[in-house]
Each structure stands twice: as structure tokens, then as C-alpha cells.
Amino acid sequence: MVTQVLFGEQALLLEEVPLPPASRERGWLRVRLLHDGYEGYVPREAFDLAPRTHDTADGAATASPHVVGVPQTLLFPGPDIRSSPTQPLFMGTPLSVAEPAGEDGRFLRLASGGFVVAHHLRPAQPPPASDAATIAEMFLHAPYLWGGRTIAGIDCSGLVQLALTMAGHEGVPRDSGPQSRQVGEELPLAWLEEPQRLRRGDLVFWKGHVAMLTAPDAIIHANAHHMMVACESLPEAIGRIVRHGGGHPLALRRP
């Protein structure tokens, strides 16, 4: 697995993978995700292949674009906390909200069906850039998952992409390599020896890994050593990664 597609995300269909006539599989699609350009293969049944035209969708005239603004919420079949949820929805999931529902508008009805707790959503329009590290800290202790993008499992670059995007940064690449070349401005590596120059939210890159500073000498990162999102001392992390053959940091960037 190289990444995950969240409920409601759109993709460009690049190829339908043919299968032998006798195959019982339903087939695969090669797609490009519209939000970050990432390409990969997905099971055919994971996507609705009909072109989406929001201006003709039921309820679209009054629907408002929102995203899930908390690490995880639940989709309910009705505006009632006692109903059985049908599925989880994760931070960053795009949703079209039709109208308030339930007592005191506690829920929002989605244009696609189902109900979500109102204060778990926020308008899709990104806010002015805010503290991405605070968003990353909401994922503390989430399990590490290669290719993961959610509180149920996330990797290092997925955590950075999600935190920066939810904090209002646009065009954040999915993988740590492109992030180390494209996000924000490059900082001198020598600043690692002058922590007073570093700021909360700065990014430290190793080969195949990225962490976000929470303080000049501390980081948060999803990593396979702890097998979860963890906070630790930056000097201790550098020393451990060097001892385990991961090398020294290769880049510093400020979003």
C-alpha cells in the first residue's frame, strides 16, 4: 500500500486493468488522486465511475462543501446519537452538507445521505495558515501504518501532509522526498546545532522520513521505531536514527 483514498475524494481514471474472462475478481483501476496527483491501483468497486457533477446532484443547490475537522467522526443513518453508525469518517474527508438536522441542529445532513455531528465538520475553504504542529499533536499515539493517512493508521509523510493541509497550506506532496524539496523554504542544516533558530512547525528530513518540530529541540513523527505517532527529543531521535543506519538529517524546511 502506498497511500489511502478517503471517502468522497475524487480521482482521474487512467486505466481499467483487464482481467481474464474466467476471473472472479471485479478488476482494478489505475487512478490519479485530484487533491495531490498521487497515482496507484484501487479495486474497481471502491469508486463510483459516473462523472460527478455537483450542480446536478440532488440537494446540490443548497449543499455546502465541508471537511471533517477532527481526527475521526462517525456517519449515522439518522440524526440520533443512539443510532448505529454506518462507517467512520476521518480528518480531511470532503463532504457536501445539505442542512442542519436533529435537536438544535446538532447534526448535519449530507447531500450523499447520512448524518454527521455538526461541530466535527468545518468549511472546506482552508483557513489562513495556522499551527500545523497542533493538528499533528491530535494524532499522538495513532498507530504507524505504511501508506496510512488517518488516525486509524498513518505514516510520517501522511501526518505532515494532513497537518499542513488542515492548517491552510496548499499543494503539499504526499511523500517525504518531494516534501523535502517543495514545502516552504529551505533552512541551513547547520541550524540543527543552533536550536534557537528553529521554530515550532519546521520540518526535519532524513532519507525516507520526515518529522515536525513541536519545539526547537523536540519533534512529533509517525515512525516505525515506536510503531505510532510519538513525541521525542530531536537530539535523541537523530542519534537513534544514525545508530540504526538511517543516516543524518538531509534537509530542514519551514512551511
Last residue of one domain, picked from the residues 72, 103, 123 = 123
Same domain, 146 and 250: yes
CATH of the domain at 104: 2.30.30.40
Q: What is the DSSP string of 98-158?
A: EEEESGGG-EEEETTS-EEEGGGEEESSPPSP--HHHHHHTTTTPBB-TT-EETTEE-HHH
Same domain, 77 and 179: no
| Length of the chain measured in residues | 255
Same domain, 136 and 119: no
Same domain, 71 and 159: no
8 A C-beta contact, residue 249 and residue 189: yes
Last residue of one domain, picked from the residues 123, 145, 165 = 123
- Give the C-alpha separation, 80 to 88, whole Å: 16
**Bridge partners of residue 150, in order along the sequence:** 153
Could you report the per-residue pLDDT of 175-203, keeping only the tens digit for each? 999 999 999 999 999 999 999 999 999 99
Last residue of one domain, picked from the residues 82, 97, 123 = 123
Nearest to 5 by CA among 45, 52, 38: 38
Residue 233's identity, in one-letter code, is S
Number of C-alpha atoms within 13 angstroms, CB side, residue 148?
21
**pLDDT of amino acid 51:** 64
Same domain, 138 and 248: yes
Residue 59 lies in a domain: no
Same domain, 176 and 211: yes
Q: What domain range includes position 20?
A: 1-52
Same domain, 247 and 138: yes
- Give the C-alpha separation, 239 to 243, whole Å: 6
CATH of the domain at 136: 3.90.1720.10
Q: How many domains does the chain have?
A: 3
**pLDDT of amino acid 58:** 46
8 A C-beta contact, residue 80 and residue 71: no
**pLDDT of amino acid 60:** 47
**pLDDT of amino acid 55:** 44
Question: Integer distance in angstroms from the first to the last C-alpha of the chain?
Answer: 27
**pLDDT of amino acid 20:** 78
Same domain, 137 and 205: yes
**pLDDT of amino acid 52:** 58
The segments of the chain whose pLDDT lies below 50 read: 54-61
**pLDDT of amino acid 48:** 86
Same domain, 174 and 240: yes
> Looking at 7-127, which runs of residues are DSSP E strands?
11-17, 28-33, 39-43, 64-68, 72-75, 87-90, 94-101, 107-110, 115-117, 121-123
Extract the C-alpha cell encoding 168.
491552510
Extract the C-alpha cell encoding 250.
538531509
